[in-house]
Amino acid sequence: MSNSEGGLSEDGLSEDAPAKLNLALHVRRRRDDGYHDLETVFAFTDFGDTLMARPGDRLTLDVVGPFAGAVGAGDNLVLRAARALAAAAVDGGAIGGGAALHLDKRIPVAAGLGGGSADAAAALRLLNRLWCLDWPLDRLLPIATDLGADVPACLYNRTMFGTGRGERLQAVIDEATAGLPVLLVNPGVAVPTGPVFEAWDRLDRGPLHPDLWRDGRNDLAMPAVRLQPVIAEVLDALSATGATLARMSGSGATCFAIYSDDAARDRALDEIAGRRRWWAVATAMRAASTE
């Protein structure tokens, strides 16, 4: 069972951690603090990880799933988020506590899908319920911001326009995206974010209007392709399947393609899977969270 609205199953409380897409990502400048000013439209898919929790005397985490080995159960973002929320609860006069956390890791690591950020955000939402804090998401936002630039968007799990490092968020009406059939494809290479940003040519190619994301671009695609040329092969293969849009997400290497209907997406999946040994998942854009 996976329920982002507060479900309780035999395995305990559970929370979805949907994969994040950057429908467009414009890099405007490198700042004096070393970060980059971005403009991006975040969206989320029905595909993702699942985090579960039961009460415990201390914070523990076990990880299963196809990408468990790449994450491990050490000092990762899930435990960092849990510790940060526990500390904030104490500071706010509430009581946090322990939890036995269980992560089903299906999102590839270092793939441009915000897997770690999604897991951290899911931990904040999940433990907020498990510990009966009942804080609104806006109260969790400062904790999310401290954990990473993508965590705030993942906290809200809805289409958002992000500026700054991506942490300044504005809700976008997601009627144009909710339910859109999407194919995710990763060629099996990890692309660390730092080297991709370092390879950016520092040319400002103009602003992004959140409602015109289809006319936008991903300014990190060219530097990512220089580091991993196979990304260009993925984009070419997706474009050849009749997608209405094919683009890289985040700093790569995962690319996504949007289709007019589920049947077109599923045919594309069969075609890609039949020719390549690439990781591929058929999914859809997620509607706005009900929280």
Choose from 9-13, 14-18, 94-98, 176-180 the range with maximum mean pLDDT.
14-18
Which residues have CB under 8 Å from 164's CB, separation 6+? 37, 38
pLDDT above 90: residue 125: yes
Residues 72-92 have pLDDT tens digits of 656 689 999 999 999 999 876
Exposure string of 95-110, with b = 16+ CB inside 10 Å and e = fewer, is ebbbbbbbbbbbbbeb
Q: Could you tell me the domains of the chain?
A: 8-171 (3.30.230.10), 181-284 (3.30.70.890)
E strands, 31-107, where? Answer: 36-56, 59-64, 98-104
Q: Given this model, what pLDDT does residue 230 score?
A: 97
The total of other beta-carbon atoms located within 10 Å of residue 91's CB is: 9
Buried b (16+ CB within 10 A) or exposed e, 202-215: eeeeeebebeebee
Q: Please compute the mean of the pLDDT values over residues 129-136 and round it to a whole number.
A: 95
State CA 228 to chain mean position distance: 21
Per-residue pLDDT of 222-281, as tens digits, reads 999 999 999 999 999 999 999 999 999 999 999 999 999 999 999 999 999 988 899 999
Q: Do residues 24 and 217 touch, judged by C-beta distance below 8 A?
A: yes
Q: Which string of DSSP letters, residue by residue, matches 216-276? A: --BTTHHHHHHH-THHHHHHHHHHTTT-SEEEE-TTSS-EEEE-SSHHHHHHHHHHHHHH-
H helices then E strands: how many in the chain? 9, 11
Residue 183 is classified by DSSP as: E
Helix H or strand E segment including 141: helix 137-147
CA distances from 193 to 178, 185, 197, 219 (A): 27, 18, 6, 13
For CA atoms 70, 52, 16, 283, the dihedral sign is: positive
Catalytically active residues are: 20, 150
HSE at residue 129, side-chain half, CA atoms within 13 A, is 20
* Phi and psi, residue 135, nearest 5°: -80, 145
Q: Is the pLDDT of residue 290 over 70?
A: no
Mean pLDDT (the chain) is 91
Residues of the chain with pLDDT > 70: what percent? Answer: 92
